[in-house]
Each structure stands twice: as structure tokens, then as C-alpha cells.
Structure 1
Amino acid sequence: MLQTTAALIVFLFPLAYSPGPGNLFFAANAARFGFAATVPANAGYHLATWVVTAAIGLGFVAAMDQAPQLFAALKTAGALYVLWLAWKLARAGAVEGTQQARAASFTDGAVLLVLNPKAYVIIALMFSQFLDQEETSRIWPVLLITSVFTLNNLLAFSVWALAGGSIGKLFQTPGGSRRLNLLFGTVLAAAAVWILLS
């Protein structure tokens, strides 16, 4: 199992650390609100990751095969949700008065994962490569793969959030903050389009 775990980490490394909607979401939030403010959303995202990954490993993939329209609906919903987050981020700090920008919440992080069809594809591919279909009991291998996948993503997202937090320190003035919000809002919107077109 140690050899399988090592191979799994090598397989996941480029997927987890390359730019994607999740990484960009946490980098953008850290740039705007600081690294510590991303912790609740990161916890929500990765708790949802663990639950969804385990469900897929234990047979959810078969249900998705039976209902391809569910995947298409999920893809559209996910793209629209990321667009909504991008709009909120792009407007943060640009309006004076009572409107207050806020960091992403635990719920925002969980919803981002649940509505991310790219995550479902990666999870299904991962299990197809690393889960031995001949094993009589798949529960423990599924839980191990799920945990390795979740922890690897958590580390990757934390690295992106730290980088985003460092970038954010360069934009502490109101004008700089508005430009940074607009920049990352645009990046997240591009990620939403990427989800729709992929």
C-alpha cells in the first residue's frame, strides 16, 4: 500500500498545484483578506472533499454514469457559483459606505467543492487508477486514497493562499485594494468560463 500511496501522490501533484478554480479562489481570498481569513473556507472545502471523495469511491460514480445530465447540471451550477464569487470579489472595496466585503466562509468552501465538476472527474480518474477492483473489501483502500487526496489538496491550497496573502500585502492602499479585487475577480471569472468550456 505504501507504493500505491507514493504513486498516488506523484499522480496528484501536478493536478493539485497547477492553477485551477480552487487554487485561484483561495489565492484571491488570501490576497484580499489575509491567509488566516481563508482557513474557514479551506476547512469547508476539504471536509466536503473528503465526504464526496469517499462517496465516489464507494460507488457514487455508478450513479453519475446512469445520469449524465446530472453532471451537466452540476457543471453549469459550479460555473455560475464561481462567477457569483468573482463578482463579489471584484466589487469588494470598490463601494464606499455600508457595504462590507467579507472573506469566504466555511459554507462557501464546501459549496465550491460540491459544485466543481472538475473535482468529480479527477476523483473518478484517481479511483480508476489506484483502487484495486479485485479486493473483496474496498472500504479501507477507499478511505486511504480519500485521505491522501484530501490532505494533498489541503496542502496545495494552503500554498496558494500563502502566495496570495503575500501578494495582497503589496496592495494595502484603498486604490491598490480595488485594483487587486478587480484583478482576482477577473481571474475567478475566467476560471468559471474555463469550467463551462472544459
Structure 2
Amino acid sequence: MIDVNAGLGIAAVALAMVLTPGPNMIYLVSRSITQGRPAGLVSLLGVAVGFFVYLLAAVTGVSAVFALVPALYTAIKIAGACYLLWLAWNALKPGGQSAFAPKDLPVDGTRKLFTMGLMTNLLNPKIAVLYVSLLPQFVDPAKGDIAAQSLSLGLIQITVALTVNCLIVLTAGAVAAFLARKPAWLRAQRYMMGTVLIGLAASMAFDRTEASVPQ
């Protein structure tokens, strides 16, 4: 049984992370605008499976590998920070585009939409850090089965993330249409997204927290 405070804590972390611009948000928004809500929801299904893959890894103790090989965990954080900086550059560079700006993208089939949603989430550095480093901090060995606690906490995170992402998919078109009529707002959203991504990348790169697994 997880502690109520632990449940609320992981929910707050999950909410903060899903509202922070990143690969998942950018992909879901671009697909929803380009191909409509059904395509966005199929992509979200792939994202959901990615969450469950990470949760399975956490429950089965795969994250212990990162605790035993700190250099591997550090390499993943640095690679993730570089990826977020690349996303930030694409938003801030001259002629850069907002995630909500209409894009001329090829129409993808259902299988590719699902696969890209899955891979986008699996390669998302924010999610990797969440499951490898943050999730174990909310597990209390004194509360009983560690695997069961990890499963419960992970399900809370997934519920929060999927709920918010679903709202993003359903409203992306309307938000994009509104911003298209307000060029100044569109630029402001682009700069805000780029700034947040830079901050997240810096925090990830310079964070000295090590991966840990409750004993």
C-alpha cells in the first residue's frame, strides 16, 4: 500500500512534467494538427504503451542496472539534455516554428502513427529520468512490496500523463487556430517553449542525483 503523500507527490511530478514542452507534446500536437484528432489519439496510444514499458522496467528492477553502472545513467542524461537543446534550437532559431504552427507533414498510416508515438516516448529523456531516478524516491520499503508500490505509483503517473495528453490532442487544433490569428502570441509560445526546454536540459545535464533503487 503506498502512502497518500507519495501518491500525491508522484501525481504532482507527473503533472509538472507532462505540462513541460517535450518530445511527446511536440509529436502529439503536430500529428493532431496535421491529420486530426483520430491520428493524435492513435499516436497517444503508442505513447501509452511506452509508459507501460517503462513501468514494467521499474517494477522488474531493470533500473537497478543504472544504479550499478552510474556512467550509463549519466550518459543517458547527457544525451537527453542534448536532445532537448536541439528541440529548443528548432523553436528559437530564426524562422523556427511553434509546436502549434501548422506544418506540411506527410500523412502517416495507423501503424506508423502508433510506432512513432511509442518510440517518441521511449526515447523521451524526461520519462527515462522519471522512472529511473524519481519514481524510486517515492517508494517506502517499510510500506511493503516494493514492486507493488512501484506499480501503483507508475499507474498514477500514467493516468495523469495520458489524461493531460488526451486533452492536448483534443484541443490542439483549436489552440493552433487561435494562435494563427494571433502572431504575437504564436511567437511568445515558441520562445516560452524554447526557454523551458533549455532550462530542462540544463537541469538534467547538471543534476548530480544518481539513479537509485530502494533496498
Give yes or no for TM over 0.5.
yes
Query: Aligned residue for 2:8?
Result: 10
Against the structure 1 CA distance between its residues 112 and 158, is the aligned structure 2 distance closer, same or farther, given a 3 Å change threshold?
Answer: same
Match 1:50 to one of 42, 48, 52: 52
Are the aligned partners of 2:121 and 2:127 in contact in 1 as well (CA < 8 Å)?
yes
Are the structure 2 counterparts of residues 177 and 27 from structure 1 closer, same or farther at C-alpha, using a change threshold of 3 Å? farther
Mean CA deviation greater in 185-194 or 143-152? 185-194
The one of 71, 88, 101 equivalent to 2:76 is: 71
Structure 1 counterpart of 2:135, which letter? Answer: M
Amino acid paired to 1:63: V
Kindly report the root-mean-square deviation, in angstroms, between the aligned alpha carbons of the 2 structures. Answer: 4.0
5+ residue gaps in structure 2?
Answer: 204-215
Partner of 2:213: none
Name the aligned partner's letter for residue 127 of structure 1: P
Could you give the per-residue CA deviations for residues 83-132 of structure 1, whole angstroms, max 9, x where no partner exists? 69867877x756xxxx6454792233222322222223332322321353
1:16-165 equivalences under 5 Å are 16-18=14-16, 19-22=19-22, 24-25=25-26, 28-29=29-30, 32-33=33-34, 34-65=36-67, 66=69, 67=71, 68-76=73-81, 78-79=83-84, 82=87, 100-102=105-107, 105-123=113-131, 124-132=133-141, 135=144, 138-165=146-173
2:212 corresponding residue in structure 1: none
Shift of 1:46: 1.6
C-alpha deviations, 1:112-168, integer Å up to 9, x for none? 322222223332322321353674x54443333332321221112112333323313
Gaps of 5+ in 1: none
Report the Cα distance in structure 1 between the residues aligned to 2:32 and 2:187, rounded to whole angstroms. Answer: 12
Number of equivalent positions = 188
- Match for 1:11: what amino acid? G
2: distance between equivalents of 1:167 and 1:20? 16
Q: 1:119 corresponds to which letter in structure 2? A: I
Q: Bigger CA drift: 32-41 or 74-83? A: 74-83
Identity in percent = 17
1:6: how far off?
4.7
Q: Rate the CA distance shift 1:118–1:77 in 2: closer, same or farther, 3 A.
A: same
- Find the partner of 2:178 among 170, 176, 186: 170
Against the structure 1 CA distance between its residues 83 and 44, is the aligned structure 2 distance closer, same or farther, given a 3 Å change threshold?
A: farther
The whole-number CA distance in structure 2 between the counterparts of 1:73 and 1:105 is: 28
CA distance, structure 1, for counterparts of residue 200 and residue 15 of structure 2: 17
User: Which one-letter code corresponds to 1:130 in the other structure?
Assistant: V
Distance 1:107 1:190 in 2: 29
